[in-house]
């Protein structure tokens, strides 16, 4: 069966829109954490990375967005501020700081299944 190009184009456009997070929007996937090797290095928004702060990296959310990250395995949640870009490996949706991973309960595992919810976004 041949799909008309206009139908396929509309589908692809709608698929792209489905991944655009807004305040109140959620996303599920794999989270990882970063710490020691990045501590003190400059983040994408220009500040120094502090592995003990509650921050995170996301590919598309605006800098300074506030996000609740909930571990689907432990049920714990933490609120983080987006100050960096990434993650860029393994199909992950968010990289949290070492402290955030500790509070979520996946520091030893390295990754975890999470749900993120956008709480606030800066006015663009």
pLDDT at 120: 97
* Model confidence, pTM: 0.82
pLDDT at 18: 41
Predicted confidence (pLDDT) per residue in 61-104, tens digit: 999 999 999 999 999 999 999 999 999 888 999 999 999 999 99
> Which superfamily does 22-120 belong to?
RlpA-like domain (2.40.40.10)
Assign 100 to helix, strand or coil. Answer: helix
Assign 47 to helix, strand or coil. Answer: coil
pLDDT of residue 115 exceeding 60, the answer is: yes
What's the angle, vertex CA 79, arms to CA 91 and CA 85, rounded to 5? 40
User: Predicted confidence band at 123 (pLDDT cuts at 50, 70, 90)?
Assistant: confident
pLDDT at 16: 40
Average pLDDT on 48-54 reads 97
* Phi, psi torsion values for 96, nearest 5 degrees: -100, 160
Predicted confidence (pLDDT) per residue in 8-50, tens digit: 444 433 334 345 889 999 999 999 999 899 999 999 999 999 9
Q: Where are the domains of the chain?
A: 22-120
pLDDT at 53: 97
Q: Is 17 exposed, middle or buried (0-12, 13-18, 19+ CB in 10 A)?
A: exposed
pLDDT at 20: 81
């Amino acid at each position: 069966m041949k799909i008309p190009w206009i139908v396929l184009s509309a589908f692809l456009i709608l698929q792209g829109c489905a991944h655009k997070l807004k305040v109140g929007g959620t996303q599920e996937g794999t989270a990882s954490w970063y710490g020691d090797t990045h501590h003190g290095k400059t983040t994408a928004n220009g500040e120094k990375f502090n592995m003990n702060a509650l921050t995170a990296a996301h590919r598309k959310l605006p800098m300074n967005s506030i996000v609740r990250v909930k571990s689907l395995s432990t049920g714990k949640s933490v609120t983080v501020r987006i100050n960096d870009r990434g993650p860029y490996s393994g199909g992950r949706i968010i990289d949290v700081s070492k402290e955030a991973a500790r509070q979520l309960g996946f520091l030893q595992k390295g990754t975890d299944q999470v749900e993120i919810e956008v709480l606030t976004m800066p006015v663009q």
